[in-house]
Structure 1
Amino acid sequence: MTQSPATPLPAPKERRRLRENRSLSQADMATRLGVSRATVRSWETGRSAPRGRMREAYTRLLTADPADARPEMSTPQEDVTPELVGAGRGAKQKRAARVGERSRRDRAEERLTEELLTEGWLAEDGHSGLPEPSLTPAQAFDALYAFCAPALVRQAYLLTGRRELARESVERAFQEAWYRWPEVAVDPDPAGWVRATAYEYALSPWHRLRPRYRHPEAPPSGAAERALLDVLLELPPVYRRTLVLYDGVGLGLPETAAETEASTPAAANRVLHAREAVAARLPELSSPEDLHRRLTELASAERLRAAKPRTVRWYGERRAQQWTRAAIAFTVLLIGVTALTLVTAPDHYEEPLAPPETIHGLPPKAAPGPLSAAELKLRARLRSQEMNGPERLIPENR
């Protein structure tokens, strides 16, 4: 069964001209098609186009004969009273006022469209320079997570050799991305932003101080996978990261250099030295193609699953709340200490103590020591004399 070819949809500028030839406003066109006026405006500016049956109805409405645009409707002649006549006139006046207001709004929208075209926000071919919101922030984040998280977990496993740390690195990176989503959403490469954050967290030297990461994890089951992972973990972290980005992920040399914050010659030297170290231990991986294949197989051999995006967003929001509460508590504590200092601080001037003065006329302090010759002579004379009077204690001779 054959179908007749559909009528082609006119160009965006032609759509507006055809509508105006039929003396229809955007609101009238939207009412006839059962859509919103914004949808009709986007069709005429070229930002979007109708599809399916709506496309056929819109095309027929534009290309129909203008004489059939407003068919006359017969009104049955019934008993017409003066009250009905007055009511009809009032309705006609209200309808005319609504049509006038609608036409004014349409002219204002047309002027706005012309200004956008003049300023360059709306191109002549209909592509708008303004972003068209199609997804909510949560939906966009979930889409980015579903697209990047599985691969990032495998890449982080190549960097660390630890399954739990690989999952934690990716989750922390996406939590940071959700916390700074306005910045990540407008980034030219949001996947690269998250990847760089995950790599930085995975290769942090502070993980070796954590008790859970002091002991090595179980190696892969295959001997070839264990040998390749051992070689990778023996490389310096910056060489390992450059090799994974260039030969594992497949980034270009300039992109690898930019992500590792190095110059292009430095990144090239790191890749060459890393390949030489791997080829020295595993001669069968001297070819870059074989190395790329084996890295992919090693990353895919482990069953590494990331958490659900909703869970990651919930933990990210909870962490942000905790940091916010900690900052508020610290601020309150600082304010309290400041207030206590202000309360206990002296509020008036206190004169300093007078400087010390020397007091004269006091005997010097007696100090124990040997008796002088005069003192010994006096003691002997006192002991040799007879004692008269009441009994008294006599010191013993020592």
Structure 2
Amino acid sequence: MTRSPATPLPPPKARRRLRETAALTQTQLADRVGVTPGTVRAWESGRTTPRGRKREAYAKLLKTLAEEGAVRAPEPEPKLEPESRPQPQPEAKPQPEPEPKVEPEGKPQPQPDSQPQPQPVAAPEPVALTPAQAFDALYAFSAPALVRQTFLLTGRREQARESVERAFQAAWEHWPEVARDRDPVGWVRATAYEYALSPWQRLRPRHRHPEAPPADPGDRTLLNALLRLPPRHRRTLVLYDGVGLDLPETAAETEASTPATANRLLRAREAVAGRLPALADPQVLHRRLAELASNERLRAAEPPTVRRGGERRARLRTRAAIAFTVALVATTALTVRTAPTHYEPPVSPGQAVRGVPQRVAPGALSDEELELRQKLRDQMQDGPERLSPRLE
């Protein structure tokens, strides 16, 4: 069964521009589509992409807004003022000007007791950062916290550090989009969480060898309780009670509805409180999550190292794609060169013929055979008896 292609959507900036042109808020547009305002915010920032029926409804609404905007904003016609009827101007009252008086002869007369006014000092213009400097600033600001948060999801220090580095490398590859995002830290956080919770992580060799647990028994018990939660519930709990996002933002980042996110959060809290009754209070749980993430000595790599690693990975992917394309072209050319140009019927397989007597070497002739041979030799080969047989 062939799956129909997804409905195309305009870029994130165009989506926000269409909504603002129609004078709609994110809450109003979310009500018309049937999602939360946080989900609309994530769609317009490019962090998430709508899918399924929500994508169809969102694309149809954007198309309607674009058509309404084209009808509502026709091309303005230039206005021509008639030359014979000038427009009346309002009477302007003369305002006293604190400028020096001018004598009839045209010489300026300085005012008495006038003091020079101090010139305002121009504020220094902000220095524009290069893309590399802006990326390094974002990495230095958010990478340590993201590594600690990812550790709460995985319980593995090396996997948390690698997930954050991969997320920042992806951000560097899409830096024009990330730099214009309203929440670049959220963009990187969502990418890091997706990589850390990927099911393919279980197939890696290092996943078979557990890392050393935290030294504190309380931290070890809390980490085990977190790792026993389903990945979706664990991610919701870390975002809401660990990072401090509100419920709509958590729902938008996990690509779920607000009721489903609230249900996951309640179930995760109940599971943690069932193993650790002292953490039933959300404030206490928030403090313990922060302490667990801070007690681990988790370090992030330097920003230039991450940028160079991402660029090297991009070069390797490009070279691999070029090599694969060249190999595919060579294989296609070889196939075209060696392929037959006409139909050749296949050769039928051989079958054994039965009932044929075996070949026997000829032996000595008998007397009757010798007499018959001599008779044939003596008779004429072209006589009339051979042309017209006669009865004897």
Which consecutive aligned stretches of 4+ in structure 1 deviate over 2 angstroms post-superposition?
53-58, 349-355, 362-367
Instruction: Show the counterpart of 1:339.
Output: 333
2:298 partner SS: coil
Structure 1 counterpart of 2:148, one-letter code: R
The answer to whether 1:180 aligns with 2:203 is no
Instruction: Show the counterpart of 2:121.
Output: 56
Query: Residues 354 and 154 from structure 1, CA distance in 2 versus in 1: closer, same or farther, beyond 3 angstroms?
Result: closer
The whole-number CA distance in structure 2 between the counterparts of 1:276 and 1:253 is 17
1:236-315 matches, cutoff 5 A:
236-315=230-309
Structure 2 counterpart of 1:156, one-letter code: T
Instruction: Show the counterpart of 2:155.
Output: 161
The whole-number CA distance in structure 2 between the counterparts of 1:188 and 1:57 is 30
The answer to whether 1:317 aligns with 2:311 is yes
Instruction: Show the counterpart of 2:216.
Output: 222
Deviation at 1:366, TM superposition (A): 4.0
Deviation at 1:333, TM superposition (A): 0.5
The whole-number CA distance in structure 2 between the counterparts of 1:354 and 1:211 is 52
Query: Residues 204 and 57 from structure 1, CA distance in 2 versus in 1: closer, same or farther, beyond 3 angstroms?
Result: closer
The whole-number CA distance in structure 2 between the counterparts of 1:197 and 1:184 is 12
* Greater relative contact order, per chain length (Cα 8 Å cut-off, separation 6+): 2
Instruction: Show the counterpart of 2:356.
Output: 365
The whole-number CA distance in structure 1 between the counterparts of 2:237 and 2:346 is 74
Instruction: Show the counterpart of 2:195.
Output: 201
Deviation at 1:203, TM superposition (A): 0.7
Aligned residues: 241
Deviation at 1:342, TM superposition (A): 2.3
Instruction: Show the counterpart of 1:189.
Output: 183
Structure 1 counterpart of 2:335, one-letter code: T
Deviation at 1:353, TM superposition (A): 8.6
The whole-number CA distance in structure 1 between the counterparts of 2:346 and 2:309 is 62
Structure 2 counterpart of 1:147, one-letter code: F
Between 140-149 and 247-256, the greater mean CA deviation after superposition: 140-149
The answer to whether 1:139 aligns with 2:116 is no
The whole-number CA distance in structure 1 between the counterparts of 2:188 and 2:354 is 87
The whole-number CA distance in structure 2 between the counterparts of 1:334 and 1:147 is 45
Query: Residues 365 and 235 from structure 1, CA distance in 2 versus in 1: closer, same or farther, beyond 3 angstroms?
Result: same
1:171 partner SS: helix
Query: Residues 354 and 207 from structure 1, CA distance in 2 versus in 1: closer, same or farther, beyond 3 angstroms?
Result: closer
The whole-number CA distance in structure 2 between the counterparts of 1:231 and 1:353 is 68
1:8-23 matches, cutoff 5 A:
none
Instruction: Show the counterpart of 2:83.
Output: none
The whole-number CA distance in structure 2 between the counterparts of 1:271 and 1:354 is 71
The whole-number CA distance in structure 1 between the counterparts of 2:175 and 2:269 is 37
Q: Deviation per CA, 1:36-61: give whole Å up to 9, x if none.
A: xxxxxxxxxxxxxxxxx994389xxx
Deviation at 1:231, TM superposition (A): 0.2
Instruction: Show the counterpart of 2:81.
Output: none
The whole-number CA distance in structure 1 between the counterparts of 2:282 and 2:167 is 29
The whole-number CA distance in structure 1 between the counterparts of 2:271 and 2:135 is 39
Deviation at 1:346, TM superposition (A): 3.7
The whole-number CA distance in structure 2 between the counterparts of 1:279 and 1:168 is 31
Q: Deviation per CA, 1:163-216: give whole Å up to 9, x if none.
A: 000000000000111111122112221111100000001111111111112121
Deviation at 1:262, TM superposition (A): 0.5
Query: Residues 149 and 363 from structure 1, CA distance in 2 versus in 1: closer, same or farther, beyond 3 angstroms?
Result: closer
The answer to whether 1:232 aligns with 2:232 is no
Structure 1 counterpart of 2:180, one-letter code: V
The whole-number CA distance in structure 2 between the counterparts of 1:166 and 1:193 is 16
1:349-388 matches, cutoff 5 A:
349=342, 364-366=355-357
Structure 2 counterpart of 1:159, one-letter code: L
Q: Which has the higher helix share?
A: 1
The whole-number CA distance in structure 2 between the counterparts of 1:222 and 1:302 is 10
The whole-number CA distance in structure 1 between the counterparts of 2:121 and 2:173 is 45
1:305 partner SS: coil
Q: Deviation per CA, 1:247-287: give whole Å up to 9, x if none.
A: 00000000000100110000001111111111111111110
Q: Deviation per CA, 1:352-372: give whole Å up to 9, x if none.
A: 6999xxxxxx995249xxxxx
For structure 2, the 5+ residue unaligned runs are: 1-98, 100-117, 359-392
Deviation at 1:294, TM superposition (A): 0.1
Cα-Cα RMSD: 3.2
Question: TM-score, length-normalised on structure 2?
Answer: 0.57
Question: TM-score, length-normalised on structure 1?
Answer: 0.56
Structure 1 counterpart of 2:268, one-letter code: A
Query: Residues 327 and 280 from structure 1, CA distance in 2 versus in 1: closer, same or farther, beyond 3 angstroms?
Result: same
The whole-number CA distance in structure 1 between the counterparts of 2:264 and 2:344 is 72
1:56 partner SS: coil
Query: Residues 351 and 162 from structure 1, CA distance in 2 versus in 1: closer, same or farther, beyond 3 angstroms?
Result: closer
The whole-number CA distance in structure 2 between the counterparts of 1:210 and 1:230 is 21
